[in-house]
Amino acid sequence: MGENAFAQEAGLAVSGWKEMPLTAEPYLPELVGQTHKLILGKKSGRHSIELKLKDLGRKASEDQTEKLLLKVKLQAERTKTPVSDGDFKKMVEEVLGR
């Protein structure tokens, strides 16, 4: 089983996956020693940003969420790779402050 078998990036897929995981996956990843993973990249949407912020214990206004989403998409497009958790935390500090 690949390490990204239970990874999600696209906005709509993330929304459905978080609310009803078994509609997007045939079984829970824990059954095979994996976990769900949210990837931030050029296909991410607002919901992905909000979920990552929640994981960090942070909240953002709609405007701040849009700014973060734009930063994520621009970096992912520029680097051709997903945005790391560390880079996202830096973006959050830039947009929301510490």
Rounded CA separation 68/9 (Å): 15
- The predicted-structure confidence for 55-93, as pLDDT tens digits, reads as follows 999 999 999 999 999 999 999 999 999 999 999 999 999
Domain of 26 in residue numbering reads as: 7-96
pLDDT digits (tens, 9 = 90+) for 5-63: 445 555 555 555 556 666 666 667 677 777 677 889 998 999 899 999 999 999 999 99
For residue 30, being part of any structural domain is answered with yes
**3-state secondary structure at position 8:** strand
64 burial class (0-12, 13-18, 19+ CB within 10 angstroms)? middle
Give domain status of residue 1, yes or no: no
Residue 27 lies in a domain: yes
Global pTM value: 0.73
Domain count, the chain: 1
Residue 71's identity, in one-letter code, is K
Whether residue 2 lies inside any domain: the answer is no
CA 8 – CA 18 distance, rounded (Å): 10
